[in-house]
């Protein structure tokens, strides 16, 4: 899927998220114990992560719990402040501005217009006491929508796209199953036709049949909307099914990257080998 | 009777009044912005109008004429107590006539009579933060105001529409002030909200318990939040009139007649109603020699006559 002549829709360089001041040992790239500096106990949730996401591509991010996958996603969505690093979006000022160094208004604009996020835990992405329609409309309102009828029309369209009956649009997501909640989250993320969709463990905690429906939906969304997706999962089966390319993270760092088939069928790094062989 | 010599003019010490006036100036300079102030102890419980009283006491002068209303009534316990306190420590004249007053302290209503440039309306506010309904943390609401992040507020309106088909906020309807801050206009009914827009008078809002002051200066745009295709709607009193003075197109209180069980309506603004009745009584005396039919066609109303009678 990667096309060398194409510009990436999202490019991340040296993304670092650090909790602690650091010390000469860890700041100069010294070895860490897991993702923690053995001397100053600074936690390096992400350390110099580079990534590129191309148009229409699904980029998988795999790794064990605590490897920095979700931190990477949430940093890109401005949920967490980054310590260092830069990122560019082609859809934002034609890729000429580092999104991490924008003011709050600009970051809000990027969140609401250019990116959509689906969290692992629907509670983070949805207001459980508001109606499903309200949850989706929230994104439209945040992007400046002030016409009730046009927003409701768009909500109907999005709920139909994720196969939720219009008759349930007034119900709050807390009455929905886990799979339905994830589908409401997906429709909310798609509300403003974002250029990049961030999916953080969308199928975790769902039973197999519901997982299959959600995965089918993601595949369909990619085909219909031509959207670029950054997909975090610790489930290699999900990655194999959806991702074109994959990066493997361990202790906050990217240890291997390549085409998904290549990563899963011929892993080079010992950790990736262990990961693949332990599951397949 | 309180011995005035024991108290400073207007009860508060001069430094306190100065501090409150400084906060008021800042509030006027930034319409709709909530300015913190050091709310003082008063001989009245917090939550009983102490914010409004402190503003009144800080701006009042010996020449002022004061009117105090509570839910439109000049004679409620709260209004009478506040009037007693202010007159005891200032000696200013009090009135029930909105036109005569230079300072009007009010709770829940704005008088029916349009205000003038030389008048100040002081509103008592229980909850100054309009975003409190969507966010309980003060630190977060402050940041939301700073970033003009009002989408959760819009979302509550959308929710009302999607679930009930109409916006169900009866009072404290959120307004946008000069296109910048979303403000709580205090618990005035929706009917009164448009009166804030482009008004001739200065509106000051005081929340003693929450220690906040804010203001709407004259000729400021105060627009209720509403979707483009769902316009703001005030309470509709079409076809209803005050049973005492016969007034239409005013905010009416709905009552049940204990004798007949019928719903009847009275002006919420008692001063306005009393003035209309007094004027009507004067007209009646003047036209004592005219016939009944002449009085009806002339549109004058009889003192003590019900609205229904006048309609007949």
Residue B292 has pLDDT above 70, yes or no: no
What domains does chain A contain, in order, with CATH numbers? 10-279 (3.40.50.300)
Interstrand relation of A228-232 and A84-89 (parallel, antiparallel or unpaired): unpaired
Q: CB distance B158–A105 less than 8 Å?
A: no
Mean pLDDT of A29-52: 89
Q: Say yes or no: B129 and B258 in one domain.
A: no
Residues sharing a CB contact under 8 Å with residue A136, sequence separation 6 or more, in sequence order: A154, A155, A158, A159, A184, A187, A188, A191
Dihedral of CA atoms A243, A245, A250, A253 in degrees, nearest 10, equals -130
Whole-number average pLDDT of chain B: 90
For residue B209, being part of any structural domain is answered with yes
Q: Say yes or no: B8 and B128 in one domain.
A: yes
Q: A74, A258 in Cβ contact below 8 A?
A: no
For B:210-229, CB contacts with A below 8 A are: 227-229
Q: Does B147 touch chain A (CB under 8 A)?
A: yes
Q: A255, A68 in Cβ contact below 8 A?
A: no
Q: Which of A113, A129, A143, A146 to mutate to test the interface with B (most CBs of B within 10 A)?
A: A146
Beta-carbon neighbour count of residue B205 at 10 Å? 25
The confidence band for B287, taking pLDDT boundaries of 50, 70 and 90, is low
Q: Say yes or no: B155 and B267 in one domain.
A: no
pLDDT in the model for residue A133? 97
Q: What is the pLDDT of residues A173-220, one digit of tens each?
A: 999 999 899 999 999 999 999 999 999 988 887 788 888 888 888 998
Highest mean pLDDT among A30-34, B118-122, B255-259: B118-122
Three-class SS state of B205 = strand
pLDDT in the model for residue A5? 60
Residue A212 burial (CB < 10 Å; 0-12/13-18/19+)? middle
Q: CB distance A141–B151 less than 8 Å?
A: yes
Mean pLDDT of B237-241: 93
Q: Say yes or no: B143 and B13 in one domain.
A: yes
pTM comes to 0.87
Q: What is the pLDDT of residues B170-220, one digit of tens each?
A: 999 999 999 999 999 999 999 999 999 999 999 999 999 999 999 999 999
Q: Does B233 touch chain A (CB under 8 A)?
A: no
Q: Does A148 touch chain B (CB under 8 A)?
A: yes
Q: Say yes or no: B155 and B49 in one domain.
A: yes
Question: Which residues of B are tagged catalytic?
Answer: 32, 242, 245, 267, 273
Beta-carbon neighbour count of residue B105 at 10 Å? 28
For residue B88, being part of any structural domain is answered with yes
pLDDT in the model for residue B295? 39
Interstrand relation of B181-183 and A245-250 (parallel, antiparallel or unpaired): unpaired
Q: What is the DSSP letter of B280?
A: H
Q: CB distance A141–B159 less than 8 Å?
A: no
Q: What is the pLDDT of residues A58-93, one digit of tens each?
A: 999 999 888 999 999 999 999 999 999 999 999 999
What ipTM was predicted for this assembly?
0.87
Q: What is the DSSP letter of B156?
A: H
Q: Which residue has the tokens 């949920």?
A: A79
Task: Give the end-to-end CA distance of chain B in Å, rounded to a whole number.
Answer: 49
Q: CB distance A146–B149 less than 8 Å?
A: no
Boundaries of domain holding B89: 4-224
Q: Does A149 touch chain B (CB under 8 A)?
A: yes
Q: CA A106 to CA A103: how far, in whole Å? A: 5
The distance of B127 to chain A (nearest Cα, Å) reads 23
Q: Say yes or no: B94 and B19 in one domain.
A: yes
Q: Say yes or no: B149 and B15 in one domain.
A: yes
Q: What is the CATH number of the domain that holds B92?
A: 3.40.50.11310
Q: What is the pLDDT of residues A81-140, one digit of tens each?
A: 999 999 999 999 988 899 999 998 899 999 999 999 999 999 999 999 999 999 999 999
Q: Does B140 touch chain A (CB under 8 A)?
A: no
Q: Say yes or no: B116 and B188 in one domain.
A: yes
Residue of B nearest to A137 (CA): B155
Q: What is the pLDDT of residues A224-268, one digit of tens each?
A: 888 999 999 988 889 999 999 999 999 999 999 999 999 999 999
pLDDT in the model for residue A225? 85
CA angle B251, B116, B303 (to 5 degrees): 45
Q: Which of A106, A112, A142 to mutate to test the interface with B (most CBs of B within 10 A)?
A: A142
Q: Does A66 touch chain B (CB under 8 A)?
A: no
For residue B229, being part of any structural domain is answered with no
* The total number of structural domains that make up chain B: 2
For A:159-188, CB contacts with B below 8 A are: 169-170
Q: CA A122 to CA B128: how far, in whole Å? A: 32
The confidence band for A32, taking pLDDT boundaries of 50, 70 and 90, is confident
Q: CB distance B151–A142 less than 8 Å?
A: yes
Q: What is the pLDDT of residues B67-83, one digit of tens each?
A: 999 999 999 999 999 99
For residue B231, being part of any structural domain is answered with no
For residue B63, being part of any structural domain is answered with yes
Show residues of chain B in contact with A137, CB under 8 Å. 155, 158, 162
């Amino acid at each position: 899927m990667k096309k060398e002549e194409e510009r990436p829709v999202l490019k991340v360089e040296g993304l670092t998220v650090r909790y602690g001041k650091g010390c000469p040992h860890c700041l100069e790239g010294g070895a860490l114990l897991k993702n923690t500096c053995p001397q100053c106990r600074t936690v390096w949730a992400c350390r110099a992560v580079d990534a590129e996401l191309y148009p229409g591509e699904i980029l998988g991010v795999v790794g064990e719990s605590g490897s920095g996958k979700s931190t990477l996603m949430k940093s890109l969505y401005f949920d967490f402040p980054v310590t260092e690093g830069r990122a560019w979006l082609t859809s934002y000022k034609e890729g000429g501005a580092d999104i991490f160094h924008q003011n709050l208004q600009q970051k809000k604009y990027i969140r609401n217009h250019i990116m959509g996020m689906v969290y692992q835990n629907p509670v983070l992405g949805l207001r459980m006491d508001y109606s499903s329609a309200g949850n989706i409309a929230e994104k439209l309102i945040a992007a400046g929508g002030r016409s009730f009828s046009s927003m409701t029309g768009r909500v109907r369209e999005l709920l139909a796209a994720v196969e939720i009956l219009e008759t349930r649009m007034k119900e709050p997501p807390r009455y929905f199953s886990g799979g339905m909640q994830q589908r409401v989250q997906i429709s909310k993320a798609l509300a403003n036709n974002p250029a990049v969709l961030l999916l953080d463990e969308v199928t975790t905690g769902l039973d197999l049949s519901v997982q299959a429906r959600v995965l089918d939906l993601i595949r369909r969304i990619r085909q219909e909307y031509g959207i670029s997706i950054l997909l975090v999962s610790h489930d290699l089966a999900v990655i194999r099914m959806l991702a074109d390319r994959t990066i493997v993270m361990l202790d906050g760092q990217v240890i291997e990257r390549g085409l998904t088939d290549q990563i899963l069928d011929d892993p080079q790094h010992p950790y990736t080998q262990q990961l693949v062989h332990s599951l397949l | 009777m309180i011995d005035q010599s024991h108290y400073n003019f207007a009860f508060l010490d001069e430094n306190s009044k100065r501090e409150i006036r400084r906060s008021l100036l800042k509030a006027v300079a930034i319409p709709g912005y909530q300015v913190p102030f050091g709310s003082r102890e008063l001989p009245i419980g917090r939550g009983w109008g102490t914010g409004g009283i402190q503003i009144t006491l800080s701006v009042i002068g010996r020449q002022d004429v004061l009117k105090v209303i509570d839910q439109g009534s000049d004679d409620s316990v709260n209004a009478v107590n506040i009037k007693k306190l202010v007159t005891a420590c200032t000696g200013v004249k009090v009135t029930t006539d909105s036109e005569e007053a230079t300072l009007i302290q009010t709770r829940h209503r704005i008088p029916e009579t349009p205000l003038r440039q030389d008048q100040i309306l002081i509103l008592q506010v229980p909850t100054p933060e309009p975003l409190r309904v969507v966010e309980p943390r003060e630190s977060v609401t402050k940041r939301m105001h700073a970033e003009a992040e009002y989408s959760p507020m819009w979302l509550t309106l959308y929710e009302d529409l999607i679930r009930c088909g109409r916006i169900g906020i009866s009072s404290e309807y959120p307004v946008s002030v000069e296109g910048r801050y979303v403000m709580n206009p205090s618990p005035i009914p929706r009917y009164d909200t448009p009166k804030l827009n482009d008004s001739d008078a200065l509106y000051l809002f005081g929340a003693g318990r929450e220690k906040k002051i804010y203001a709407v200066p004259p000729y400021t745009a105060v627009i209720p939040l509403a979707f483009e295709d769902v316009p703001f709607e005030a309470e509709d009193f079409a076809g209803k009139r005050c049973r005492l003075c016969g007034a239409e197109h005013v905010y009416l209180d709905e009552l049940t007649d204990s004798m007949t069980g019928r719903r009847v309506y009275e002006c919420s603004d008692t001063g306005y109603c009393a003035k209309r009745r007094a004027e009507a009584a004067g007209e009646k005396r003047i036209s004592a020699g005219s016939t009944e039919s002449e009085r009806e066609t002339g549109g004058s109303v009889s003192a003590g006559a019900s609205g229904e009678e006048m309609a007949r």
